[in-house]
Structure 1
């Protein structure tokens, strides 16, 4: 606007001067005026353009300000987020360090535990190998024992067979003796089997007078019957035992007490049995028990009578049995 006013002033001055100057000068001024007017027109146009640019620049500035404000707010928000992230990061880092320390501790503990487990495993492996060795030895021992057991079972079976034969022999002898001495039952003679042996018990009333060791005739008859059975069974061992009651024996000769008397009576019986040629002396043993193996109480007359006796104990030949027993030890 200031430029336009200046141009008008120049133009007015030019009109005033035109009346005082020549046409040449007037033309020059007119040309200048026209040039200035054109320039003014250009300036006005430029001014409008500048105004438009200014308006646009101001709008852009406003947008820039808004964008700046948004950027500032966004920056603030971002800073807050960054601070939160930094705190989270710091927390995570602390947790990570804590976990790392724990992990290192756990790794160390695990390493120790693994070492201990490995040591334990090696020890168990050694124990297993030892047990396998022991098991192998035990299996070998078991195999040996099984063989021994089988051999022992065979011997036991053989032993049972021998015992069965011995029992059969004893039963047979008992029956033969019982049959042979049947006529003497109720006269102080009994036959029974005990512990695999045959016991022939003859009371003194059948054999001897009181205080004597000479066998009476009826007793001799019974012993001869017994001797005939024993002669037919040469494998039977014969033990003749003399027994007395506890009444004191008052002897004047070599027989001075009950023990002597029991021995003398058993010897007398042995001599009668040996009169049978089928009985070898090696089969017979004479023994005296005196009053020390009573069958009943010596407090009564009946008990004393039972205790005064001769027992002929018949035993089968046990040599085969003893050999088997010895081989099993």
Structure 2
């Protein structure tokens, strides 16, 4: 019976891991498409800026030409109709270029604006002033990393009361974005975990801590379970070398990965980029 339970647990874990890898692969593929569009838009932006500089030089030349005409004729009425028309056309063209440049610059910053808005919301809710809580963005995904000293006692998977307060703030953000998914990742240092009959090693401990946090989010704060993924990474993805007590403390952490739906996150940016790069 135990062998059957272990086998089923492994199958469930592998299925979750494959699904997570697939989502990350999709995000990375989509990010590459956006980066290509971004590069194309940047080239066009540089071309527009160059054309604008050329137009500015032409306008200066026309202005000097008309000034010479005025000085030569001694009368402002001698400004040629053709010269005035040329200036007007040049100014209109310059306005069009300025408008296009403005639109392209808005498009180029759209992705960052969306991401930064999400980060700002998370920071204000979680309390980023706490040095044991870190928020960053990589490839359109937001990561909230919380030091384990805020969440658990040493070697334990029981969530502390202080941690429940912090997780309540995280839960509010998650519930405000019901279409997003959140993966809770447990990480440990490399100090061998002494088996207690229930948990065998650091990997077991990291998974148990992730599921403990998921239960707090769902049971205590009513987060939709469909939004949550529990995962344990053990000691295998350290942030720094496990060569000192301070570094091991850095590596003992829980990371909450906020993953927007790919189509929702990129659709607006993609459409705007494609429109401006035609």
TM range (shorter): 0.5 to 0.7
1:259 maps to what in 2? 203
| Residue 262 of structure 1, CA deviation | 0.1
2:260 is aligned with 1:299: no
Query: Which of structures 1 and 2 has the larger relative contact order (alpha carbons within 8 angstroms, sep 6+)?
Result: 2
Larger Rg: 1
- Which of 318, 321, 328 aligns to 2:262? It is 318
The answer as to 2:123 corresponding to 1:172 is no
Aligned residues of 2:168 and 2:221 also touching (Cα < 8 A): no
When residues 310 and 277 of structure 1 are mapped into structure 2, their CA distance, relative to the original with a 3 A threshold, is closer
Give the CA deviation at 1:220: 0.8
Q: Who is 2:126 aligned against? A: 181
Give the secondary-structure state (helix, strand or coil) at the position aligned to 1:310: strand
Q: Structure 1 CA distance, aligned partners of 2:140 and 2:261?
A: 11
- Structure 1 unaligned regions, length at least 5: 1-151
Q: Secondary structure at the match of 1:192?
A: strand
Corresponding residue pairs, total: 171
What per-residue deviation string (whole Å, max 9, x for no partner) do you get for residues 176-221 of structure 1?
11111227613x2111222211111111110000000001011110
Residue ranges of structure 2 left out of the alignment (5+ in a row): 1-32, 42-105, 271-278
CA distance in structure 1 between the partners assigned to 2:207 and 2:262 by the alignment? 26
Higher helix share: 1
Describe the superposition over 1:218-256 as per-residue Cα deviations: whole angstroms up to 9, x where unpaired: 111000011011111112210110000000001222211
Pair 1:323–1:218, CA change in 2 (3 A): same
Q: How does 1:125-164 map to 2 (within 5 A)?
A: none
Q: 1:323 to 1:226 in 2, by over 3 A?
A: closer
Contact 1:227 1:276 in 2 (8 A): no
Q: Is the 8 A contact 2:188 2:206 kept in 1?
A: yes
Deviations, residues 103-134 of structure 1 (Å, cap 9, x unaligned):
xxxxxxxxxxxxxxxxxxxxxxxxxxxxxxxx
Scaled by the length of structure 1, the TM-score of the pair is 0.46
Cα distance in 2 for residues equivalent to 1:310 and 1:270: 11
Change (3 A) 1:280 1:200: same
Q: Is the 8 A contact 1:274 1:281 kept in 2?
A: yes
Secondary structure of 2:185's counterpart equals strand
1:45-86 superposed Cα distances (whole Å, 9 cap, x missing partner): xxxxxxxxxxxxxxxxxxxxxxxxxxxxxxxxxxxxxxxxxx
- What is the CA RMSD across the aligned residues, in angstroms? 3.2
Partners in 2 of 1:284 and 1:272 — Cα distance?
A: 12
- CA distance in 1 between partners of 2:259 and 2:231 (Å): 15
Q: Structure 1 residues 321 and 169, CA, compared in 2 at 3 Å: closer, same or farther?
A: closer
